[in-house]
């Protein structure tokens, strides 16, 4: 009966422009107006809070020049390769740890405890190993994204409902069929989630490495804007970067069907 009550409420609360949208608009307008006032007041040092017009034109400026797309391509390439390396390694190691209890007992706790440690501090080593070019950035990204992927794949494999495996065995499925028809579909959620987490931290690893030492890439552009004290450009770059990162994250989630698995 409680369910019917809830359904009723949900059905009632769905007008065209609801109070939620209004509140959102109100919050955004208040923030923007506050920002603009702060910019005009001159209370803070000059340029720390540039006017919205300046930021807007900096965004337009950024998006209209090929330079940004070149650097975006460099960074995207680095992240892509990093995800490929770190992700493949992560999935393979994760499967091994998930399948074999002995391996998991022997090694997983190391990975578990190394997971939530700062990765950027490995950058000096990566520079020594892979040079100052894109190689060290790729390495940073790969190291960063490896951990969340390993851990969620291993945990995901162990969390598969044992009865599904018994069902597979009862139909005498062979190993390959088991992997293809039972394990992978049952693990889709944790794998996609691991990749999403991995992408997030891999992105941060790569970009931070670029801000520390590089001559191309988005991270380099950001730190360049900082050293030139070009605040509107820096804001523009951060805004575009955030929009891209949030968008890609949502896209991976959507493609992986993270929304549709709720029933399981």
Q: Which of 142, 192, 208, 236 binds another protein (CB under 8 A)?
A: 208
Contact mark string toward another protein, 211..230, x via CB under 8 A: xx------x--xx-xx--x-
Integer Cα distance of 108 and 194 in angstroms: 16
Q: Does 79 bind another protein (CB under 8 A)?
A: no
Least Å from the CB of residue 177 to another protein: 27
Q: Does 254 bind another protein (CB under 8 A)?
A: no
Q: Which of 54, 84, 160, 238 binds another protein (CB under 8 A)?
A: 238
Least Å from the CB of residue 196 to another protein: 8
- Backbone dihedral region of 131: left (phi > 0), alpha (psi from -120 to 50 degrees) or beta? left
Query: Which 3-state string (H, E, C) describes 42-84?
Result: CCCCCCCCCCHHHHHHHHHHHHHCHHHHHHHHHHHHHHHHHHH
Is 91 within 8 Å of 149 (Cβ atoms)?
A: yes
Q: How many residues bind another protein (CB under 8 A)?
A: 61
Q: Does 149 bind another protein (CB under 8 A)?
A: no
Least Å from the CB of residue 119 to another protein: 8
Q: Does 135 bind another protein (CB under 8 A)?
A: no
Token code pair at residue 107: 């090694």
Least Å from the CB of residue 212 to another protein: 6
Rule CB under 8 A: which of 29-58 touch another protein?
Answer: 44, 48
Least Å from the CB of residue 168 to another protein: 23
Using the contact rule CB under 8 A, the part of the chain among 31-39, 80-88, 110-118, 156-164 near another protein is: 110-118
| Short-list 214, 209, 204, CA closest to 242 | 204
Q: Does 139 bind another protein (CB under 8 A)?
A: no
Contact mark string toward another protein, 178..207, x via CB under 8 A: ------------------x---x--xx--x
* Binding residues for another protein (CB under 8 A): 1-2, 4-5, 7-8, 11, 19-20, 23-24, 27, 44, 48, 101-107, 109-110, 113-114, 116-125, 128-129, 196, 200, 203-204, 207-208, 211-212, 219, 222-223, 225-226, 229, 231, 234-235, 238, 241-242, 245-246, 249-250
């Amino acid at each position: 009966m409680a369910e019917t009550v809830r359904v009723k409420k949900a059905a009632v609360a769905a007008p065209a422009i609801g109070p939620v949208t209004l509140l959102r608009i109100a919050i955004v307008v208040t923030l923007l107006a506050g920002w603009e006032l702060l910019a005009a007041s001159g209370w803070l040092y000059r340029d720390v809070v540039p006017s919205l017009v300046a930021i807007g034109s900096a965004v337009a400026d950024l998006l209209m020049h090929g330079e940004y797309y070149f650097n975006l391509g460099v960074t995207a390439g680095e992240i892509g390769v990093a995800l490929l390396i770190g992700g493949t390694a992560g999935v393979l190691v994760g499967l091994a740890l998930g399948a074999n209890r002995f391996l998991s007992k022997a090694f997983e706790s190391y990975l578990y405890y190394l997971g939530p440690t700062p990765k950027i501090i490995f950058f000096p080593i990566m520079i020594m190993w892979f040079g100052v070019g894109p190689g060290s950035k790729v390495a940073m990204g790969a190291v960063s994204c490896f951990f969340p992927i390993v851990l969620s794949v291993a945990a995901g494999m162990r969390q598969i409902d044992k009865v599904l495996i018994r069902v597979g065995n009862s139909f005498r499925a062979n190993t390959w069929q088991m992997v293809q028809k039972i394990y992978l579909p049952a693990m889709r959620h944790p794998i996609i989630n691991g990749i999403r987490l991995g992408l997030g931290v891999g992105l941060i690893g790569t970009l931070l490495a670029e801000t520390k030492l590089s001559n191309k890439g988005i991270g380099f552009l950001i730190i360049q804007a900082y050293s030139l004290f070009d605040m509107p450009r820096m804001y523009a770059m951060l805004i575009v970067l955030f929009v891209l990162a949030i968008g890609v994250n949502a896209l991976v989630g959507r493609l992986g069907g993270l929304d549709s698995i709720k029933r399981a």
